[in-house]
Amino acid sequence: MSTAPTYDPARTALLFVDPYNDFLAENGKLWPMVAAVANETGLHDNLRRVVSGIRGAGIQIVIVPHHRWKPGELDGWDHPNSYMLGGYDRQIFAQGDWGGEWYPEFAPQEGDLIATEHWGSSGFANTNLDTLLKQKGLTHVILVGLIANTCLESTGKYAVELGYHVTLVRDATAAASHAAMHCAHEINGPTFAHAILTTNELLAAIPATAPLAA
């Protein structure tokens, strides 16, 4: 894990998981849960640096969004899990409300891709993410966003099962506790990720600018 791989812009994608107001804005419903770790790691600044560097290198950005809350949608479900029920009860990422809108700094820009919304933790399960990546010839994925030990971990594990090269960025994410971050990057991450880097290490490994068109 100590040696950074190389990233071919034509084969690499940044997967930005759940860049919603509810997660990243000070008044977001989930911000209090991750704020302590996020502030300590410099989450917002590191996300800014990663996104800027990725755009500068001409690497594809893919937004990987969680399902947005709608009233009554779990009615009649046989066994929704506690994760789903908790989000439903709190109306997390409510469709049409401010909390379910993109955090302005990280809203999709022209050329970005947006995967269909995932219900659980994995950005691949029951979505079109794998199709989007394969149709663009992308084989390497770099994961940032929230949360380290749930959606990022599940998405990364699923990506490995599908044959992708996976990179985690340990300070461009956050979690509800230091223990959760430790588990994500020191215990579980090494069992599936090909690289676990800091923002500085990632930026050193990607091209500084996009190659000029021939």
Contacts of 127 (CB under 8 A, 6+ apart): 115, 116, 117, 118
Please provide the distance, in angstroms rounded to a whole number, between the alpha carbons at the two ends of the chain: 35
The reported pLDDT for the residue numbered 51 is 98
Largest CA distance in the chain: 56
Q: How many CB atoms lie within 10 A of CB 13?
A: 25
What integer pLDDT is reported at residue 86 of this predicted model? 85
Structure letter (DSSP) for residue 159: H
In the prediction, which pLDDT does 114 show? 98
State how far the alpha carbon of 151 is from the alpha carbons of 6, 174, 189, in Å.
25, 11, 13
Q: Measuring CA to CA, how many Å separate 74 from each of 34, 51, 159?
A: 26, 35, 27
Q: Any idea which architecture 12-65+103-205 has in CATH?
A: 3-Layer(aba) Sandwich (3.40)
pLDDT of residue 2: 46
The ranges of the chain with pLDDT < 50 are: 1-2, 214
In sequence order, the 6+-apart residues with CB closer than 8 A to the CB of 13 are 59, 60, 61, 62, 133, 136, 138, 140, 141, 142
Distances in whole angstroms, Cα of residue 80 to Cα of each of 48, 73, 75, 92: 35, 11, 10, 15
Any idea where the domains of the chain sit in the sequence?
12-65+103-205
* Prediction pTM value: 0.95
Place of tokens 């990057």: 185
Residue 4's pLDDT is what? 63
The CA-CA-CA angle for residues 172, 148, 192, to 5°, reads 105
pLDDT recorded at residue 82:
85
Instruction: Report yes or no: 120 and 154 within 8 Å, Cβ to Cβ.
Output: yes
